[in-house]
Amino acid sequence: MMITYQTEGVEMPAIKQRETTAWIKAVAETYGKRVGDIAYIFCSDEKILEVNRQYLQHDYYTDIITFDYCEGKRLSGDLFISLDTVRTNAVQFEAPYETELFRVIIHGVLHLCGINDKGPGEREIMEAAENKALEMRKDFM
């Protein structure tokens, strides 16, 4: 059971993997979940568009695509993150790139924990969960 960090066509972002993994596990625990096998694949806009078209029949760029393989309380999944879109969003939201990157990293885990962001009022719930998780991150970095 582990969290892995991979890249496809981009440079690995400068994140402390051990600390990031400990943080993700701690966030999962607050939802009564355990971390199984989670793979982060950092990629470009081109790659995420390809994944979006191929698997979800969506024809647009996005910051993250989460493939959920969870079983019971064990979180497992493949999380594709476009560093291009993360960078664009950071500029748009006037947020530091690192903050936006960690927001997206935990966003995928929160999806695996069962939090959605598509329905009415769900976006606000997701945002509150992200903010709470980002607060927790200070204990690990």
Q: What is the rounded CA–CA span in Å between residue 95 and residue 131? A: 13
C-alpha gyration radius of the chain: 14
117 is in an annotated binding site: yes
Q: Is residue 58 annotated as involved in ligand binding?
A: no
Per the annotation, does 111 bind a ligand?
Answer: yes
Which residues have C-beta within 8 Å of that of residue 29, sequence separation ≥ 6? none
How many Cβ atoms sit within 10 Å of the Cβ of residue 42? 24
Nearest in space to 48 (alpha carbons), one of 59, 68, 62, 67: 62
- Report the DSSP beta bridge partners of residue 79: 40, 66
Binding residues for Zn(2+), by number, are 107, 111, 117
Q: Which residues are annotated as a binding site?
A: 107, 111, 117
